Chains A and B, each alone.
Chain A
């Protein structure tokens, strides 16, 4: 009992206000592929899933994505970094919404809206080589305000 109390006390001291570590979610786990992610935005979690999960990723995957918008998304950019064994393999930056070219129907939604997207992401076909990868993803707007941030792990057997 004492031990429990001590643990509780330490936990309460380390996490004032409940703490902001979000649970790790599983996107999928089958066919030799496992994808996990955790929100790295201290303010909120988000939900994400892929319709198909295999080492041989199809082109034009369908995803589902749900979150609350912290900012307007008249302009929205994705930044992704792929890391394997601590070495950065590539980083990319991709415009999703631009004021002169809103690619998706959700572009232009406003701060405070609940946001749900289910549809294609326009990716290329890709075979994932064996290994374990870290993927850091960030969504931000034209003022570089973060809308979502994810630490993902991709394990391919």
Chain B
């Protein structure tokens, strides 16, 4: 019994193992023909033979390659990008990449590296990006330097580094990104910084290292593209340590899960002795914010105060004439005037997104911002019964305005008269109250993009979109039309310059044949997720070369007369429709076979009827609607019997008639 049991057990295990191996070979997914493959999470121990030697990008993470050597990838000599994250790699042996001249990125994240051979990275001519995140290394001597002359970025996060110092032999002349995220670096010395001297325009990331000390003069006359000290407990150390440096972008924010000290005006004085263009202080508290806090920020071009618990900004700040971009997202203003915008007269970009209190726009709060081009007030509980001329007074250079995800706004005719240069207006998911026949967007001569999705619009107002001569993209997703029908006279007739029209999720049942008359320039029409049938396609009869999305509608039988309309379009999506695959739809099915190249994503185009073909892909259906020999035989027999019957009855009728004469 025992031997039999073990045999069976072995057989079962073997069968299971075989199945895994067989299936895994097949399971690498092709993301770009002959070039890009994804083989993640397949438990592979080697490169499958199915991958072509033309493979350029290989995502091979979460497999099992304890040792990699010159035979491991030898067949794939065209590799450009190789991701072997968490493959349990211990050893990188000699000449692993000897024949991979094109290789430019190697990702070794999450591998417990024990040793890399001196020549393990030799071969690639332009090795640019190396990821050694969480590989357990603590010393850069671990990485062989022979072929790193072209290195642009080196990621060393989540390791055991205590110093950022590069070995003297380390070729850093092309280095642009040096990332030490989440290590144990607490001190920066002059020697440390001097070792980076050869790298110009370097971005140095020290986020999650809690710097406790910087040697005086360490940053003297040093220049950086980006310096990130995110999560540092004591910012005074940083401000003191960066004296006489030049930094384009300085990131000093903190996080909800970390403790930090309040920022005082005295700390910010440190900024007077360095040159910084852009600074981020997210998530900090300010203990004594006053005009004096900004004394050393006058050279700044960008200031990000996201989630800094602000209820107002002080008035009377002077000298902030260079500031172009101000981010005040996720704060606690009650009134827009509380930001005292007049302090920042040169602003071109202002973001007050995600305000935690209901934000009252007030009147003319931004009127001193004559150069403002970009204003984001989304997600801020804004509610106003008459928007937006008083509120945005004098913003004559405004080009982008985002008021999406707010409370109801009432709009009158010419609601944006004060900002006639608007190019993009986003009002998505903000309930708009517009009474008929007002035209709130009248005279926005430069407006190109208008997002009105889920605005609960009164679509019966034919003047709603009047006065938009240059509008290219209109998003009306999620708005409803009376009786689910777009009639002959509708709000789209005033926007003849439209190129992209989105009418998805509008509960549409039908579209009048003349409804899109006048829209001659359309290139992209999205009618997905409605309840349209094949007949509605007649409304598109005058479009040519359009991308047409009809996914998730109620199209079953495609009428013969709409096929020429479909033929004129460039790409069509008919996925998730209850398509009929019987002979009643034979014209469409035939036409479909001849026009496969027009269809987007054939995988999801399946039959709904007849029950026998339910779920079958349309491109796999072979339908024959000719009459079969048996059918012809029965018809002949039927006709024959019918004629005999007819002759007999005529005969009988005549005989009956003559007998009665």
Interface residues in chain A, defined as those with a beta carbon under 8 Å from any beta carbon in chain B: 1, 5, 8-9, 12, 16-18, 43, 68, 70, 100-105, 107-114, 117, 119-120, 122
Kindly state the separation between the CA atoms of A133 and B407 in the bound complex, as whole angstroms: 32
Residue B330 interfacial (CB < 8 Å): yes
A111 to B155, CA, bound (A): 13
Q: Which chain B positions have C-beta within 8 A of A8?
A: 9, 12
Contact B16 A16 (CB under 8 A): yes
Q: Is the CB of B107 within 8 A of A104?
A: no
Q: Which residues of B contact A17 (CB under 8 A)?
A: 16, 19-20, 43
Q: Name A11's closest neighbour in chain B (CB-CB).
A: B12
CB distance from A103 to the nearest CB of B (A): 5
A119 touches B257 (CB 8 A): yes
* Minimum CB–CB distance for A146 against chain B, Å: 12
What is the CA–CA distance of A17 and B18 in the complex, to the nearest angstrom?
A: 9
Residues of chain B touching chain A, judged by Cβ–Cβ distance below 8 Å, are 1, 5, 8-9, 12-13, 15-16, 19-20, 41, 43, 61-62, 83, 85-86, 107, 109-110, 131, 133-134, 155, 157-158, 181-182, 207-208, 230-231, 253, 255-258, 282-283, 306-307, 327, 329-330
Q: Let me know if B16 and A12 touch, CB within 8 A.
A: yes
Contact assessment for B85 and A9 in the assembled complex, using a CB-CB cutoff below 8 Å:
no
CA–CA, A131 and B301, complex, Å: 55
Contacts of B83 in A (CB 8 A): 111
Given contacts A103-B283, A110-B155, 12 further A-B contacts (CB under 8 A): A9-B12, A43-B41, A68-B86, A70-B62, A101-B330, A102-B255, A104-B257, A109-B158, A110-B133, A111-B85, A112-B107, A112-B134
Contact A112 B85 (CB under 8 A): yes
Partner of A112 from the list B15, B110, B230, B330 (CB cut-off 8 Å) is: B110
Chain B contact residues, majority secondary structure: loop
15 A-B contact pairs sorted by A residue (CB < 8 Å): A9-B8, A16-B19, A70-B62, A105-B207, A105-B255, A105-B257, A108-B207, A109-B181, A110-B85, A110-B131, A110-B155, A112-B133, A113-B133, A114-B110, A120-B257
A113 to B15, CA, bound (A): 34
- Chain A's nearest CB lies how many Å from the CB of B258? 6
A69 to chain B, nearest CB (A): 8
A134 → chain B closest CB, angstroms: 27
A119-B257, A120-B256 are known contacts. Are A101 and B306 too (CB-CB below 8 A)? yes
Q: Is the CB of A112 within 8 A of B329?
A: no
**Residues of B with C-beta under 8 A to A68:** 86, 110
In the complex, which of the residues B13, B85, B181, B330 has the most CB atoms of chain A within 10 Å of its own CB atom? B85
Establish whether residues A113 and B109, one from each chain, have CB atoms under 8 Å apart when the complex forms: yes
Q: Tell me which of A1, A16, A105, A113 contacts B231 (CB under 8 A).
A: A105
Measured between C-beta atoms, what is the minimum distance from A81 to chain B in Å?
20
- Chain A residues in 8 Å Cβ range of B207: 105, 108
Docked-complex contact A110 and B12, CB < 8 angstroms? no
A19 CB → nearest B CB, Å: 10
A101-B307, A104-B255 known; A111 and B61 CB under 8 Å? yes
Docked complex Cα distance between A105 and B41 (Å) = 27
Contacts of A109 in B (CB 8 A): 157-158, 181-182
Most chain B beta-carbon neighbours within 10 Å: one of A9, A18, A111, A113:
A111
Choose from B62, B231, B329 the contact partner of A100 (Cβ within 8 Å): B329
Q: Are B256 and A12 in contact (CB under 8 A)?
A: no
Closest chain-B Cβ to A32's Cβ sits at a distance in Å of 29
Contact A103 B255 (CB under 8 A): yes
Least CB separation from A69: chain B residue: B110
B283: nearest chain-A partner, CB-CB: A103
Chain A residues within 8 Å of B13, by CB: 12
Q: Is the CB of A101 within 8 A of B329?
A: yes
CA distance A109 to B157 in the complex (A): 8
Kindly state the separation between the CA atoms of A32 and B283 in the bound complex, as whole angstroms.
37
Residue pair A112, B61 in contact (C-beta under 8 Å) = yes
A16 to B1 Cα, complex, angstroms: 25
**Is there an interface contact between A110 and B41, defined as CB atoms closer than 8 Å?**
no
Residues of chain B within 8 A (CB-CB) of A100 are 306, 327, 329
Residues of A within 8 A of B41 (CB): 43
Determine the residue in chain B with the shortest Cβ distance to A119.
B257
Is there an interface contact between A122 and B19, defined as CB atoms closer than 8 Å? no
Instruction: Select one of B16, B20, B157 contacting A110, CB under 8 A.
Output: B157
Are B255 and A16 neighbours in the complex by a CB distance under 8 Å? no
Q: Are A5 and B155 in contact (CB under 8 A)?
A: no
Given contacts A5-B5, A68-B86, A104-B257, contact A111 B109 (CB under 8 A): yes
